[in-house]
Amino acid sequence: MAEAAIEALKGQLAQLEKDRAKDQQLLILLQDKLANPKVPSIKVSIPREPRLRRYAGGNPQEWIGDAKCVLTAQSDLSTKERVDFLKSHLDGSAKIEIECRNVSAPEEIFDALQLVFGPRSTPIQLTRSFYECQQQAGQTITDFSHELVRLIGSLEKSDAAKVSNKDLMLREQFVAGILDSRLRWELKKQVGTHSSITFIDVRETAMQYAAEVSITASKPKTRPHQEAHLDSIRPEEDTSSTLTKMMTEMMVQHKALMDRVDRQQSCIDQLLRAQQPRQHEHHKPDSFRSKPPKCENCGKVGHQTRRCWFLPHNEQQKQTQSRFHKTDNHARSHTQARQGTEPKSLNG
């Protein structure tokens, strides 16, 4: 027994030695990592310089905008280098036109191209375009203001004498060209109250109003009774219980409505039954209807005896006279009865 126990202890000791050796190896690896940490690799991507397409003629507005963006990105270039850079991207008639001029700045190149190849408008046309500029449907207030600034800039370059007060002209046309009538009215009130307000301040007010309108339009619209119903629902109530209550109320209302319909139908039936006897009184059966007259002289149907054409002429006169006598006696007796006297015969 003692030998078995000793063997077991030796086995446990050998296992412990193995575990200790593994721990030492791990400790050495950790020390190496701490002594020589690896720096993670960082990839730096340098954006490529924007390219400028070549220009040979046509409307220069788009090319001038691209050229200004490229020059802004290459801010380390000198003025002469910028001029050379722009000249290297010109071809055809545009290049010939710039070579004929003594240009020393990029702005001079832009002005020359705009003057030669740009749309030509007289000062009168530019003035009309400025005062006819209105905010279009779907156009933002910022875009509308930028359009006004561009038009007045073109007018100022064409004829500076027509732009006496640039800020005042921009402010007045901006207020007059606003599409929303309510906003236009508010801006006119503001300008009338503060005559010294600038174009930038008026535009800022309009932009704030537009932002508030967009926020209000984005909110879901609820009716007043719906809001009251939503407020009456407690947050802790379960949705199922709320639906159950609503179904119960709807069933009660439906039952009350059906009862009301039944009562109205019963009233209608009673009225119909009450009118049925009266209708039968007005419609007598065929047995009580008058039959066509039958002559007692000739026995034919369709005329009376006094009008029979088989009677002699004297007999017809007698029949007619007797009929008139009977009618006259009846009328006289009726008149005397109303006057309180006794009827008298025709003979006496």
Of residues 278 and 180, more confidently modeled: 180
Q: How many CB atoms lie within 10 A of CB 97?
A: 17
Express as a percent the part of the chain with pLDDT over 90.
Answer: 16
User: 281-319 pLDDT, tens per residue?
Assistant: 455 555 555 677 888 888 777 777 777 777 765 555 555
User: 8-32 pLDDT, tens per residue?
Assistant: 777 777 787 888 777 778 778 777 7
Domain ranges of the chain: 61-117, 123-216, 305-339
Of residues 248 and 178, more confidently modeled: 178
Q: What is the DSSP letter of 88?
A: T
**pLDDT reading at 267 higher than 70:** yes
Amino acid identity, residue 217? A
How high is the pLDDT of residue 168? Answer: 93
How high is the pLDDT of residue 236? Answer: 47
Reading the block at residue 251, the tokens are: 């069933």
Low-confidence winner among 8-12, 193-197, 205-209 (lowest mean pLDDT): 8-12
Q: Residue 4: how many CA atoms within 13 Å on its side-chain side?
A: 1
Express as a percent the part of the chain with pLDDT over 70.
Answer: 73
Question: In the structure, what pLDDT confidence band is assigned to residue 347 with cuts at 50, 70 and 90?
Answer: very low
Alpha-carbon gap, residue 180 to 210, rounded angstroms: 10
How high is the pLDDT of residue 187? Answer: 92
How high is the pLDDT of residue 314? Answer: 55
Mean pLDDT of the chain: 77
Which helix (H) or strand (E) covers residue 97, if one does? helix 92-99
User: 19-72 pLDDT, tens per residue?
Assistant: 877 777 877 877 777 777 665 566 655 555 567 888 988 888 888 888 888 888
pTM of the model: 0.39
User: 123-157 pLDDT, tens per residue?
Assistant: 888 899 999 999 998 899 999 999 999 899 888 88
Question: In the structure, what pLDDT confidence band is assigned to residue 202 with cuts at 50, 70 and 90?
Answer: very high
Mean pLDDT for 343-348 is 46
Nearest of 197, 189, 193 to residue 170 by alpha carbon? 197
Reading the block at residue 69, the tokens are: 């963006």
CB 69 within 8 A of CB 50: yes
